Amino acid sequence: MGGGTISGTSPMSLQPDCIRCGRDARGGRRVEGRLDYYPRWVWLGLVGGLLPVIVLCFIGRKKLRISFSLCPDCARRQRWKQGMAAATWVLVAASILVSVKLDDAWILIGTALLFVGAIVASVLGSDPLQVSAYQDRVFTVKGFGREFPALPGP
């Protein structure tokens, strides 16, 4: 991955260069999205179980509205990965249905493997940008390609 970070307040509108490869992305895809940031202290809720964590996430969540560009090539690659992830989840669902009908250990193992594969595919296909820090209304966003021109120099 590498690449640097960009800081700013919400809403953040990035220049029309591809966030992956840095090429001029006019004619590509403009993504209007939302990135969520959860402060680390939400994990303190774990002492009370999963529910407090969910409640704390809800309280502590900071939303960044962001728009960025992907060039046609990177947009296509991103869509392909998302399609793969969706297809793998369909396979998982089908495999669960089959394993309920046929009580077979191998199908169960296959389902478990597919499940792991689907999670991996979802992570790979997820939005490239993430909020890495938040303080006083300023979000720090990471996940840019090394070539993205708006990045502060080394």
Interaction site with Zn ion (CB under 5 A): 18, 20-21, 71, 74
Q: Which residue lies nearer to Zn ion by CB, 43 or 80? A: 80
Q: Which residue lies nearer to Zn ion by CB, 134 or 148? A: 148
Q: Tell me the C-alpha distance between 80 and 77, whole Å.
A: 5
Distances (CA, A) of 32 to 8, 12, 13, 17, 60: 16, 10, 9, 14, 23
Query: Euclidean distance between the first and final Cα of the chain, in Å?
Result: 15
Q: Which residue lies nearer to Zn ion by CB, 26 or 137? A: 26
**Shortest Cβ 69–Zn ion spacing (Å):** 9
**Shortest Cβ 104–Zn ion spacing (Å):** 45
Token pair 């202290």: residue: 41
Q: Report which of 41, 7, 2 is spatially closest to residue 22, judged by C-alpha positions.
A: 2
Contact in structure between 55 and 86 (CB atoms under 8 Å): no
For residue 152, give both structure tokens. 């502060």
**Shortest Cβ 3–Zn ion spacing (Å):** 13
Q: Report which of 151, 149, 131 is spatially closest to residue 141, judged by C-alpha positions.
A: 131
**Shortest Cβ 22–Zn ion spacing (Å):** 7
**Shortest Cβ 151–Zn ion spacing (Å):** 14
Q: Which residue lies nearer to Zn ion by CB, 18 or 85? A: 18
Q: Which residue lies nearer to Zn ion by CB, 20 or 64? A: 20
